[in-house]
Amino acid sequence: MNAGMNPGPGPVKLTRKDFTARQDVRWCPGCGNNAILAQMQKTLPELGIPRENIVIISGIGCSSRFPYYMNTYGIHSIHGRAPTLAMGLKAARPELQVWVVTGDGDGLAIGGNHLTHALRRNVDINILLFNNRIYGLTKGQYSPTSGFGARTSSSPDGSIENPVNPVGIAIGSEASFIARTVDIFQKHMSGVLRRSADHRGAALVEIAQNCIIFNDATWGDITDPDNRLDHVLYLEHGKPMRFGKQGEKGIRLNGLKPEVVRVADVGEEHLLVHDERASEPTLAYLLSRMGPPDFPTPLGVFRAVDKPVYSQLLSAQVRGAQAEKAADLDALFRQGETWNVT
């Protein structure tokens, strides 16, 4: 199975250029996808993984053009099904590093079932969910993450549907790694992508992404450079939750409810401390519910826990069976009662 595999003598030295495909990028000028592409092209060389051992699989939608622009192996598949291809590929070739690129429509509407089950199984893949809260490629219909009341080309009178929260879905699906970052937060995204790549098991990274044409400034409260620090809570494992321009605000737990407090008033020792490794996802869920207008939007790693990895378990069962029993096809043929005719 390793025909063509290049394990290499050690970490491979690659640059951003190595990951840039020759194809012209055809996203709209100013689309958040361009920034995400740039970060992936910058981050992947840092992983030390040979380019040929990386596969990027996407579904359908603006985000799903992604693999065409990366000089790795890639499949631009069909709407919503990228995680299923990734699972089959990992079953055949567990040693490959597999990324799934999806969007809020692709991953949460038509492909919601597959996303949930890929996370539940803990298949060793990295799922990047570009969330722009709109259908871009079909020109501006509301998506599963569009807000209640959103006026779009298919909801002229306002959407009458409640949005889902990708982080909440990931928690409900027992995901072992869940993070959120923002298209234009280059350094933050790079860190999150690296954490995701290093994680063993299924990783879901929600990337808040701007659609400049159909849903401009949907993430405006956290991307506005003047007020960003008042609206973003950067999650850091083991650190008290502080935000604000001077870190003057914090999150405290009052019973089962979080509340925003002034650190000077309550003391840092009374703030919630982030624990991404908690065995129960209670804190991650509480964080997933936070956002405007009453709370900052948490960014970073919500949850990162070790769990048995599907593709490894599958290989282990096969190896175990092989160690126990010879691969004797003739013996398999002769299972049960046999008789000879002479």
Partner 1 sequence: MSASVKTREELEQVTILFSGDSGDGMQLTGSQLTTTSAVLGNDVSTLPDYPSEIRAPAGSVAGVSGFQLHFSHQEIHTPGDNPDVLVAMNPAALKTNLPRLLPNGVLIIDQDAFSARNLAKAGYEENPLDDPELGSRYQLHPVPATTLTLNALESLDLKRTVKARCKNFFTLGLVYWLYERPLEQSLEWIEKKFSRMPLVAEANRLALQAGYHYGETTEAFAVQWTVPRARNEAGCYRIINGNEAAALGFVTAAQLADKPLVYSSYPITPATDVLNHLSRWKHMDVRTIQTEDEIAAMGSAIGAAYGGAFSVTGTSGPGVCLKSEAIGLAIMLELPLVILNVQRGGPSTGLPTKTEQADLLQAMFGRHGESPLPILAAASPGDCFDTAIEAFRIAVRHNTPVFVLSEGYLANGSEPWRIPSLQSMEPIVVRHPVDPDGFQPYARDPATLARPWVLPGTPGMEHCIGGLEKHPPTGAVSYAPEDHEAMCQLRADKVARVADFIPELEVTGPHEANLLVLTWGGTCGAALTAVQRASEQGRSVAHAHLRYLNPFPRNLEALLGRYEKVLIPELNAGQLALLIRSSYLVDTLSFPKLRGQPFTVREIGARIEALLS
- Cα separations in angstroms, 113 against 147, 170, 299: 21, 12, 25
CB of 254 to partner 1, least distance (A): 39
d(CA 143, CA 323): 49
Q: Is residue 129 within 8 Å of residue 102, measured between CB atoms?
A: yes
Q: Which stretch binds partner 1 (CB under 8 A): 49-57, 200-208, 211-219, 257-265?
A: 49-57
Helix (H, G, I), strand (E, B) or coil at 103: strand
Find the binder of partner 1 among 50, 140, 244, 291 (CB under 8 A).
50
Footprint (CB under 8 A) of partner 1, residues 21-40: 21, 23
d(CA 251, CA 220): 22
Compose the 313-342 pattern: x for residues touching partner 1 by CB under 8 A, - for all others: -x--xx-xxx-xxxx-xx-xxxxxxxxxxx
Find the binder of partner 1 among 44, 57, 62, 189 (CB under 8 A).
57
Find the binder of partner 1 among 16, 42, 51, 200 (CB under 8 A).
51
Q: Is residue 200 within 8 Å of residue 124, measured between CB atoms?
A: yes
Q: Is residue 60 within 8 Å of residue 80, measured between CB atoms?
A: yes
Task: Characterize 226-243 residue by residue with b for buried, 16 or more Cβ atoms within 10 angstroms of its Cβ, and e for exposed.
Answer: eebbebbbbbeeeebbbb
Residue 52 in contact with partner 1, rule: CB under 8 A:
yes
Footprint (CB under 8 A) of partner 1, residues 137-176: none
Find the binder of partner 1 among 5, 160, 217, 264 (CB under 8 A).
5
Written as one letter, the residue type at 132 is: N
CB of 115 to partner 1, least distance (A): 10
Report the interface residues with partner 1, using CB under 8 A.
1-6, 21, 23, 50-53, 55-57, 60, 67-68, 70-78, 81-93, 95-96, 113-114, 116-117, 314, 317-318, 320-322, 324-327, 329-330, 332-342
